[in-house]
Amino acid sequence: METELPPLTEAVVQDVVYAWCARAKHEITIPNCGAVWGPEADVASVTKARLGHAFEIKVSRADWLAELRHIRGDCRCHDGRYRCAKFARAETLADAKAHALETARMAEAGSNCCGLVPPSYFWMVTAPGIVKEGELPEFAGLMEVVPYRHGTHQAHGYRVTET
């Protein structure tokens, strides 16, 4: 007999992401973490190789569109979540190159122009169809939460697929 899957809430999707991180053998996985990369990640994880993954969960199209407005806008520290506003506002190509070199030097020292080290991977995690073609920022990967009935490494009857 088929059982009905729970609705996709942020908490359910966090569990599904946690299952993905566990399967990938990430060393640390933390929900609602704002202490690592600045903007709070719905889930943050770190691999044995010390690569950081930040997961931003969007469970509705409206939620995604609000996030997209933020990404395309300008906030105090970042143009979007992990792109530098100073770079985006550079008036000349020379200014942009100079800032990129400064940022690279700071990254080698474990920082960036905003005092934060961005994660190695940034993921949007959504239900299928929430993010439309051409909307995903170039710095983000996309994971979609889909029903999963067989095997392991799933939670609440769902799993994530990398698209």
Position with higher pLDDT, 106 vs 24: 24
Which residues are CB-neighbours of 80 under 8 A, at least 6 positions away?
Answer: 70, 71, 72, 73, 137, 139
Reported as type and span, the H/E element at residue 124 is strand 121-126
Closest CA to 44 of 83, 14, 79: 14
Distance separating alpha carbons of residues 152 and 131, to the nearest angstrom: 27
Say which residue, 153 or 58, is predicted with more confidence.
58
| Side-chain-facing half-sphere of 92: CA atoms under 13 Å | 3
Entry pTM? 0.72
Listed range (103-107, 135-139, 150-154) with the worst mean pLDDT: 103-107
Identify whether the C-beta of residue 139 lies closer than 8 Å to the C-beta of residue 152.
no
Q: What is the CA radius of gyration of the chain?
A: 17
Query: Residues with Cβ < 8 Å from 104, sequence gap 6 or more?
Result: none
pLDDT at res. 92: 61
pLDDT at residue 79 tops 50? no
